[in-house]
Amino acid sequence: MKNNKKRNLLLSLILAAVCLVFLLYVDKFQHYSMLASVLKKGAIYSLVAVSLNLLNGFTGLFSLGQAGFMMIGAYTYAILTIPVESRAAVYQYFDGGIVQFCLPMIVALVLAGIVPMIFAWLIGLPVLKLKSDYLAIATLGFAEIMRAIIQWKQVGPLTNASNLLKKFANFDSVLFPFIVSGICIAIIVLIINSTYGRAFKAIRDDEIAAEAMGINLAKHKMQAFMISSFFAGVGGALLAMFQSSVQANTFTSTMTYEILLIVVIGGIGSITGSILGSFLYIACSEWWLRFLDDPMPYIGVNIPFMRGGFRMLVFSVVIMIVVLFFRKGIMGDHEFSWDGIINWFGKLFKKREKPAKEVASK
């Protein structure tokens, strides 16, 4: 057992070093490439997908309000980090806005998680009494209401209404979203493996049995809801930094469906699956299938249906195939394990060796 732990630790360190070298290479030599954009957005979506998986996959609460919490986090971060001298240009229709100070990036990033968490507590009091589809509808309605309020002209001095928020602090390095997302995901993993995480899983499996074992359902559901919203808010702030601007129309229900789809593709109840699903989803939708939108002829043949929007049609078919053949997702409810990989390769080589021995004996 000790040898296996040392081996797994060594392999993990090697993998981390390889990933770090790769990211440093991309950051230095392909900083403005599509690969860099996919990596940055994939890291951000990984955090948001894991936060949703904590709620849907580990606690069994079907929520569709993730885009709303991301939007609150993005607006919180943007409002608090716009330089004072730039506010007159940003809030040009509202006399420079009512916020006349600028916070450091890290402080604003933490507040971008705390503010959505407060909103989650407020709406969680009545909403978490609902179950299944009713909870999903209620949280989806909350996200749409918040989007309408943010664009309301009466709150324009704070949110700039339907106008863009820009000129706030952004990140330029490919490593930054990976570091922030990595720290946040590590915290979520620690929570899942704690007594709170075991209580979440018990609620997911059987609420009646969990309550009979002394678990306070209302308290733990609220905790899961608030923790998920905190990290969704941080993910929203990272997305705002990635896009260099914030507008409420970006955070529609479609974004929530995308994140939910990533969780399903990766595996409900799998942190590793959510991370893999995020990078695969972003890479397919924004990079690998991009050529399908190009009307240029291929091999001298002009294909008529290859035009703008065809990429998303093909992508939808790919998703349907994945869902049909991987009904539990890529990882199911399992996590990445060196022991599992080594055992898989061991079984694969044994299957290949067995026919060879049978042929030799004949």
Give, as one character, the DSSP assignment of residue 298: B
pLDDT score recorded for residue 298? 55
* pTM across the whole model: 0.89
Mean pLDDT, rounded, for 126-131: 86
Give, as one character, the DSSP assignment of residue 215: -
pLDDT score recorded for residue 358? 56
User: Of all residues in the chain, what percent carry a pLDDT higher than 70?
Assistant: 91
The tokens for 118 are: 């407060």
Return the number of other C-beta atoms located less than 10 Å from residue 182's C-beta.
16
Mean pLDDT, rounded, for 203-217: 90
Q: How far apart are CA 101 and CA 315, in angstroms?
A: 44
Burial 215-254 (b: 16+ CB within 10 A, else e): beeeebbbbbbbbbbbbbbbbbbbbbbbeeebbbebbebe
Per-residue model confidence as pLDDT tens digits over 10-39: 888 898 899 999 999 998 888 888 899 999
User: Of all residues in the chain, what percent carry a pLDDT higher than 90?
Assistant: 52
Report whether pLDDT(175) > 90: yes
DSSP string, 260-296: HHHHHHH-TT-HHHHHHHHHHHHHIIIIITGGGG--S
Q: Are 43 and 271 in contact (CB under 8 A)?
A: no
28-37, 230-239, 301-310, 345-354: which has the minimum mean pLDDT?
Answer: 301-310
Which ranges of 206-337 does DSSP label H, i.e. alpha helix? 207-212, 217-243, 253-266, 271-283, 310-325
DSSP string, 152-192: -GGGHHHH-TTSPEES------SHHHHHHHHHHHHHHHHHH
Which residue from 32, 184, 177 is spatially nearest to 105, judged by alpha carbons? 177
The tokens for 329 are: 């997702």
95 to each of 90, 92, 158, 163, 248, how far by Cα in Å?
9, 6, 11, 14, 21
95 vs 351, residue with greater confidence: 95
Confidence at 184, pLDDT banded by 50, 70, 90: very high
pLDDT score recorded for residue 228? 94
Report whether pLDDT(359) > 60: no
Per-residue model confidence as pLDDT tens digits over 213-233: 889 999 999 999 999 999 999
Return all residues near 347 (Cβ < 8 A) that are at least 6 apart.
Answer: none
Report whether pLDDT(130) > 70: yes
In terms of average pLDDT, the best of 274-283, 312-321, 342-351 is: 274-283
